[in-house]
Amino acid sequence: MTVSDPRTDIPKGARPEEQITTDPSKPAQRMRSGSLVLTLAPWVIASVVLAILPMVFTNNSALTIMNQMSITIVFALAYNMLLGQGGMLSFGHAVYAGVGGFACMHIMNMSDFFSTIPLVILPVFGGLFGMGLAMIVGAFSTRNAGTVFAMISLGVGELIAACSVIIVAFFGGEEGVSGDRTYAQPFFGVEFLQQIEVYYLTAGWVVVSAALMYLWSRTPVGRMANAVRDNPERAEFLGYSSRWVRFYSFVASGFFAGVSGGLFAINYEILTEENLNTASSGIILLVTFLGGVGFFFGPIIGAIAFTLLQTVLSLSTELWAFYAGILFLSTVMFFPGGLAGLLMMHVPVFKLGKASSLIKPYLMTLLPAAIGLMGLAALVEMTFHYRHGATGDNEMTVFWTTFDSHTLMPWLVAGAITLIGLGIAKVTAPALREAWSEATTAGGAS
Amino acid sequence: MDLILVNLIDGLVTGLLLFMLSAGLTLIFSMMGVLNFAHASFYMLGAYFAYQISIALGFWMGLLIAPLVVGVLGAGVERYGLRRVHQYGHVPELIFTFGLALLIEELVQFIWGKNQLPYSVPDALNFTAFAISGNSIPAYKIFMIFISISIFIGLLYVLTKTRVGMIIQAALSYPRTVEALGHNVPLIFMGVFGVGTALAGVAGVIAGPVLGTFPGMAFVLGSIVFVTIVIGGLGSLWGALIASLLIGWITTFAKSYNIEMENILTGLGISKPESLDDSIFRDFWSLTSPQIADILPYILMVLILIFRPAGLFGKRSS
């Protein structure tokens, strides 16, 4: 790392520590450790929701989406152990998930061994392989954080992704490795033939691994990871080797990435080069950052939001990656705390009991802004259709309206909607800003 | 012998092309401490802009105008994007440039579509310059070498001999002092970023016709450029040059000589197992050098990082 203030390495407003009250009469820690109900409540609620969800959304495609979501949650949480808690930016983390997944695939294909273990514990093997690889790579990559670590992670990631075409025995070349999960020893009579059984397996693993990762972040090692992230020099003066602290975080993150790879193997029963390459590593970075790296639950929100966005948008538009890119870039530029940071910004407002005063300004600014952005999106879609649509195919559908993109009228309408929507938002924005500063300051007229 | 000469020229072309990208990247890095992930995207933009201009005004105007446009765009990105993110620290800066690379790729697909563009070598350069025992060397390759070398000499001259270069070098090491002397350091940063991206643009303009102008071209070259500057030592211009040439030659030679792992291993006295099909090392035995040519730079980088973390010519380890 070159000259930089380590304290600024994590976005402002994204640090949970800043929210903790320093009022000596009410120490935050004591309250937290004293009240078991408060600590356990989110976990119980999450487990119940996960158990109920398949009864609400019963069709198979919803189950597939939820499985995908769960896998992404585990992976994003593992990634955030590095990025958010350890301050290490990795551009090749898909490799650990991928290798864990490939290892699980090979175990599935070793029928003698596979038939003696229940499928439920298969992700552990994926985790162990991911951890093994992380130990090898971490031995030399965790010497530095920051840019050098990022470079090494990128190089190793590219190297292993390129190897996948060469080392056919392990990575299966271009067609990948496939297997059959049902050959495992039945787990209390369940053979995992149906999607719903796989869903409960995945959901169980999400809860278990999220809980383990949360507990890890509470251990001294997890706490030291935060310290090393914020100020490695000071951590060294306290007698901790920042390199080894980084190494432990890296290895633990590799384990849970491997678990997510194992879950992927169970779900899709095939792994290919796509699970290893830089694109997958980039997506997990996007998911984690979108959710917010400063809070433990940030990646969970990110994974849910991103998977929904991906499935919903990619069904309706070819340009979904373009919108995702814009969303990502504006998150980095304007909301470095991510979605979780945005949510947590409102905690003081609720504590002050002024949340209701924000509803009207929010509606007055965000609603026109959303409509304006929809108009803008329509313009983008129309431009795309105009340039790349097949000749003669002038009909297109945007926002449930079908029209001819080669006539002037739709362009005028979309342009007008964009201008008016964004214009109103611009006019009402100062009022929102005022209401916000009013709502976040204690006292005064409420 | 003749083949060696041909490969030397081919490797030189690849190496110098890499150098044009890595020179700008390493300058930007040593100045702002930020590794610009979108650097190769500016190279791609150079090629696309040049194609668009060459339709209307011909190749030569493209060579002249496209890098300027790319440079202005780069300066704009620094001024309105990076400078804003800078306050959050280095990791968000890296993430920002990474996101920018994704967005530029999508943008290019949005405007020009997913297919390769018919951007080709201009007629004036579309002939054989000379032949080495039957292997013809196209004039365009000589032109590429000529352009890259003159850019390198020009860059070296500006950086070491002119007043502007002196100020830039001073601003690299002591930005605060230079600012106290009355120079506008943020403007210098913006200028260096602009020039660095413009260099990438030039590389795109001249490489587009040979390597193909398609949305994946940034991705193909991007990671190799990072590998180059890591091997050369982050922030070292000479290191970037040496590493670029090294990588250019290594990959070219590995591709043109079919060295088989089997021969190496038997030469080392290891006997080949009877039936390869059962052995887990079967892929290892059947390796050939063209197969691994593309990953050799990565292997080299990992080795360098393990044994000499500062890179070949780097002064500091981070």
Higher pLDDT, B240 or A406: B240
Tokens 């105009």 belong to which residue? A386
Residues of B in contact with A9 (CB under 8 A): 89-91
Alpha-carbon gap: B138 to the closest alpha carbon of chain A (Å) = 31
Alpha-carbon gap: A420 to the closest alpha carbon of chain B (Å) = 26
- CA A286 from centroid of its chain's CA atoms: 7
pLDDT digits 0-9 by tens, B204-221: 998 888 888 888 888 888
Architecture field, domain A12-345 = Orthogonal Bundle (1.10)
pLDDT digits 0-9 by tens, B145-201: 998 899 888 888 888 889 888 888 888 778 888 889 988 888 888 998 999 999 999
CB under 8 Å to A306, separation ≥6 — which residues?
A72, A283, A286, A287, A290, A291, A324
Rounded CA-CA distance B153/B237 in Å is 12
Write the residue in B35, B88, B291 that is nearest to A8 by C-beta: B88
Rounded CA-CA distance A376/A393 in Å is 22
Q: What is the mean pLDDT of chain B?
A: 84
**pLDDT above 50: residue B240:** yes
Alpha-carbon gap: B213 to the closest alpha carbon of chain A (Å) = 18
Residues of A in contact with B95 (CB under 8 A): 89, 285, 289, 332
Rounded CA-CA distance A412/A417 in Å is 9
Q: Cβ–Cβ of A155/B100 closer than 8 Å? A: no
Using the Cβ of B272 and the Cβ atoms of chain A, whether some distance falls under 8 Å is answered with: no
Q: Cβ–Cβ of A89/B35 closer than 8 Å? A: no
Q: Cβ–Cβ of A333/B81 closer than 8 Å? A: yes
Residues of B in contact with A333 (CB under 8 A): 81, 84-85, 96
Residues 131-170 of B with CB under 8 A from A: none
Which residue numbers in chain A have pLDDT < 70? 1-38, 390-395, 405, 443-446
pLDDT at residue A37, rounded to an integer: 65
DSSP A91: S
As for the ipTM of the complex, it is: 0.80
**pLDDT above 90: residue B82:** no
Q: Cβ–Cβ of A162/B305 closer than 8 Å? A: no
Pick the most confident of B42-56, B129-143, B252-266, B280-294.
B42-56
Rounded CA-CA distance A350/A65 in Å is 33
- Average pLDDT (B75-99) is 86
Using the Cβ of B309 and the Cβ atoms of chain A, whether some distance falls under 8 Å is answered with: yes
CB under 8 Å to B206, separation ≥6 — which residues?
B17, B63, B143, B144, B147, B148
Residue A270 has φ and ψ, to the nearest 5°, of: -150, 140
Burial class of residue B2, CB neighbours in 10 A (0-12, 13-18, 19+):
exposed
Residues of B in contact with A154 (CB under 8 A): 223, 226
Write the residue in A9, A162, A380 that is nearest to B295 by C-beta: A162
Contact A104, A265 (CB under 8 A): yes
pLDDT at residue A10, rounded to an integer: 45
Write the residue in B95, B219, B283 that is nearest to A332 by C-beta: B95
Burial class of residue A96, CB neighbours in 10 A (0-12, 13-18, 19+):
buried
Residues of B in contact with A143 (CB under 8 A): 309
Residue B8: strand, helix, or coil: helix
Tokens 């209401």 belong to which residue? A435
- Supply angle C-alpha A208, A214, A216, rounded to 5: 100
CA-nearest residue of chain B to A279?
B102
Residues of A in contact with B295 (CB under 8 A): 158-159, 162-163, 166
pLDDT at residue A154, rounded to an integer: 85
Residue A82: strand, helix, or coil: helix
Alpha-carbon gap: A76 to the closest alpha carbon of chain B (Å) = 16
The pTM score is 0.83
pLDDT digits 0-9 by tens, A292-316: 888 888 899 999 989 988 888 888 7
Q: Cβ–Cβ of B89/A10 closer than 8 Å? A: yes
Q: Work out whether the CA dihedral B302, B304, B308, B311 comes out positive or negative.
A: negative
Write the residue in B84, B92, B109 that is nearest to A11 by C-beta: B92
pLDDT at residue A417, rounded to an integer: 83
Rounded CA-CA distance B149/A192 in Å is 63
CB under 8 Å to B126, separation ≥6 — which residues?
B138, B139, B140
Alpha-carbon gap: A191 to the closest alpha carbon of chain B (Å) = 31
Q: Cβ–Cβ of A333/B84 closer than 8 Å? A: yes
Contact B298, A155 (CB under 8 A): yes
Where does the pLDDT of residue B315 fall: very low under 50, low under 70, confident under 90, or very high at 90 and above? low
Q: Cβ–Cβ of B98/A285 closer than 8 Å? A: yes
